[in-house]
Chains A and B, each alone.
Chain A
Amino acid sequence: MILLTCIMVGVIFACATYLLLAGELKQVCMGIFLLGHGANLAIIAVSGSPIGRLPPVLGGGMIDRLVDPLPQALILTAIVIGFAVQAFLLTLLVITARKTRTLDLNALATDEKEKP
């Protein structure tokens, strides 16, 4: 179970890296989003295998068998922040596309050099 999660994290990070190296801004942003998901998955993997353990809700007794709740609290925060970042980045993409009519990184870079 934990091995599978780790492999998943690896695959997601690999895909995200591939996207980050792409030549278009949309793909780069998607890479950032995907990387965020990979990070969240890595954090949840830290709390260990959930098999044979209980959700971290008090009242059931058996505190020693509860899943560690802290990583869940961490990713909850990370997801909220990630959501804000995604909203911001998407807005930025739309505005850039409207202003410059292109999202190709090379085109953006050459435009820059032509300007004084």
Chain B
Amino acid sequence: MPANWIILLVVIPMLGGIGSTFFLRHMRAQRLIGIATLIANLIVAIYAATNVFTDLDHPRILVSQMGDWPAPFGISIVLDGLSALVLAMASIVVLAIYLYCLWQMPRRLSHGLFHPLFHFLILGVQWSLLTGDLFNLFVGFEIMLMASYALLVIGASPSQMRQAYKYVLLNLLGSTLFVTCCGLLYGATGTLNMADLARLSHDGLLPPSAIPIVALLLIVFGTKTAIFPLWFWLPDTYHNLPASLGALFAGLLTKVGAYTLIRTFVMMFGTPELHRVVLPVLLLSAGVTMLLGVLGAVSMKSVRRILSIHIVSQIGYMALGIGLMTELAVAGTIFFILHNMAVKSTLFLCGGIMQELSGTDELAGMGGLLKRAPWLAAFFFIAALSLAGLPPLSGFIGKWMLLKGALDTHHYLFAGVGFFTSLLTLLSMLKIWNAAFWSESPQSPSPAPARSTAAGMLATAILLVVTLSMGFGASLYYRMCTAAARGVLQPEAYIQAVLREAR
């Protein structure tokens, strides 16, 4: 039974993007379209996730063949456990961020172009998550990145422009390498369909000439995900973004990269020969990424800078789980991706509200926020502790799964690094907490906020509820993540669903 309706997850944001392009001068119409499409998107994504997880331990796989061309030849759109989970989380996160954007629109983006670009970014993200072949993954990535380039540079000041170049050029280089990889891989294997590639590599039919191409793919996705030593573009770019866009980029872009790492190196090329090449590199880079990212965070002095460089450190954890390649560790990575999408966005949004209240982003200029905004303090506190990984919050569960995976496979060093990184994460979060909430306000009397922060707090609260649900409903998420991990580690069901449906 082809589940053709899953293409709605691509069509809805596309309609939103095209629709809002027609109303560049009508803010109210754009907002209406935006909220309508994002809510529709959320409903379809949640419906899809419940459809996939009718049985929590055995997710179904929904497949749609575009134009009804049989699988290895046509374009397949596939929704399995992994992509359903990430998609559902992404759709919640973008809705919350959009609501926040309506309240605090970045000033340089306050003309109509923001809305179409926002929708096209979501289109790219969801296409990347849904697609069943490597070349369409490239196309999805390109759409997502094009929208992000434009959001980054429109109306930017000269200094922001300079920073943007680093991001744009490096990602363009990565994309070119990606498309070359696609071509070479097609030459080596004769297919680009993910299920077909997984079938080839699990049957041991992958030619040796494919191994260097897979290694090149690691560089490509490593650049997009920002793992060591390819992470240097990220902290320089993200802190320039206004809080709302920072939340969007931090919550979606690098996480899609991490999703792709799982899809590629766990599912498509999950054979022992390839793992001998890829896993040591991934593990080592994961360890260094975790540590360097958090050391950077400890040394930074503004909220957005701390949060931006923290993204890198969190990506290290995700790469760690993939590098370990046990069921628990991969499930941990999936859990961690979901947790991070919610928590990181929450923190960025909190940072935005903090900036609104105190008029600056520098820690030195903040203070006294605990008295002025107790709810904000509570939100930030919960999200920060969750990021640091204190029980019973979601970060603890994710880190527990990853570190237990490392201990089970006798990678004590990496478990130690992961634990140490957690401590430093707590330290850097406490730094923000002390400077912004506990200390006295440097300006007296403290500046009155220009407007009520209730709308922004509402958007943040949505994300916080999701985070809390991941902590307190951990067993449910744990089962779903484990099932999704099993689905990518042993992709027989995926291969059958995609390839057989055609006949």
Most buried by A among B146, B159, B175, B180: B180
Asked whether, in the complex, the Cβ of B172 is within 8 Å of the Cβ of A74, the reply is no
Contact with A along B426-453 (1 / 0, CB 8 A): 0000000000000000000000000000
A42-B184 in contact (CB<8A):
yes
Q: Nearest B residue to A46 by beta-carbon distance?
A: B187
Q: Is the CB of A39 within 8 A of B180?
A: yes
Q: Report which of B146, B161, B173, B182 forms a contact with A20, defined as CB distance below 8 A.
A: B173
A35 within 8 A of B: yes
- Asked if A95 is an interface residue, CB under 8 A from chain B, the answer is yes
- What CA separation (Å) do A81 and B187 show in the bound complex? 21
Within the complex, which residue of A32, A39, A43, A100 is in contact with B161, where a contact is CB–CB below 8 Å?
Answer: A100
- Report the minimum CB–CB distance from B388 to chain A (whole Å): 30
Task: Tell me, rounded to whole Å, the shortest Cβ–Cβ distance linking B159 to chain A.
Answer: 6
Q: How far is the CA of A38 from the CA of B180 in the complex (A)?
A: 9
B162 touches A111 (CB 8 A): yes
B186 on interface, CB distance cutoff 8 Å: yes
Known A92-B153, A95-B161, A99-B158; contact A35-B168, beta-carbon cutoff 8 A:
no
In the assembled complex, the Cα of A29 lies from the Cα of B165 at a distance in Å of 10
Max count, chain A CB within 10 A of own CB: residue among B162, B169, B173, B175: B162
Q: CA A81 – CA B135 in complex, angstroms? A: 12
A115 to B160, CA, bound (A): 11
Please determine whether B183 and A84 come into contact, CB atoms closer than 8 angstroms.
no
The chain A residue with its CB closest to the CB of B186 is A46
What chain A residues lie within 8 Å of B135 (beta carbons)?
A: 74, 77
Q: How far is the CA of A99 from the CA of B149 in the complex (A)?
A: 18
**A20 nearest in chain B by CB position:** B173
**A49 beta carbon closer than 8 Å to chain B:** no
Q: Pick the contact of B159 from A36, A39, A112 — CB < 8 Å?
A: A112
By the criterion CB–CB under 8 Å, are A42 and B168 in contact? no
* Known interface pairs A32-B173, A71-B186; A99-B161 also in contact (CB < 8 Å): yes
- Of A35, A71, A84, the residue contacting B146 (CB under 8 A) is A84
**In the complex the two chains form, what is the Cα distance from A46 to B184 in whole Å?**
7
Interface size class of A (residues with CB under 8 A): 20 to 34
Kindly state whether residue A78 has any CB partner on chain B within 8 Å: yes
Chain B residues near A38: list those with CB within 8 A: 180
Tell me, yes or no, whether B176 is within 8 Å of chain A by CB: yes
Q: Is A15 at the interface (CB under 8 A from chain B)?
A: no
Chain B interface residue bracket vs A: 20 to 34
**What per-residue 1/0 map shows which CB atoms of A50-85 lie under 8 Å from chain B?**
000000000000000000001100110110010011
Nearest B residue to A37 by beta-carbon distance?
A: B176
| Interface flag for A14 (CB, 8 Å) | no
Contacts of B186 in A (CB 8 A): 43, 46, 70-71, 74
**B161 and A71 within 8 A (CB):** no
Least CB distance from B364 to A in Å reads: 12
CA gap between A116 and B501 in the complex, in Å: 60
Given contacts A77-B135, A92-B168, A95-B161, contact A35 B150 (CB under 8 A): no
Chain A residues with CB under 8 A of B179:
36, 39, 43, 74, 78
CB distance from B197 to the nearest CB of A (A): 14
Query: Which of A85, A100, A109 makes the CB contact (< 8 A) with B158?
Result: A100
Q: With contacts A81-B142, A89-B168 known, is A96 near B161, CB below 8 A?
A: yes
A108 to B168, CA, bound (A): 15
Q: Is the CB of A88 within 8 A of B149?
A: yes
Asked if A43 and B182 make an inter-chain contact with CB atoms under 8 angstroms apart, the answer reads yes
Select one of A43, A84, A85, A108 contacting B180, CB under 8 A: A43
Question: Which residues in B have some Cβ–Cβ distance to A below 8 Å?
Answer: 135, 139, 142, 146, 149-150, 153, 158-159, 161-165, 168-169, 172-173, 175-177, 179-180, 182-184, 186-187
Please provide the 5 A-B residue pairs with the shortest distance between their CB atoms, ordered closest to farther.
A43-B183, A46-B187, A39-B180, A35-B176, A99-B158
**Besides A32-B176, A85-B175, A109-B162, 9 other CB < 8 A contacts?**
A32-B172, A39-B180, A42-B184, A43-B180, A43-B186, A85-B142, A88-B146, A89-B168, A112-B163
Could you give 6 example pairs across A and B, Cβ below 8 Å? A42-B180, A78-B179, A81-B139, A85-B146, A92-B153, A111-B162
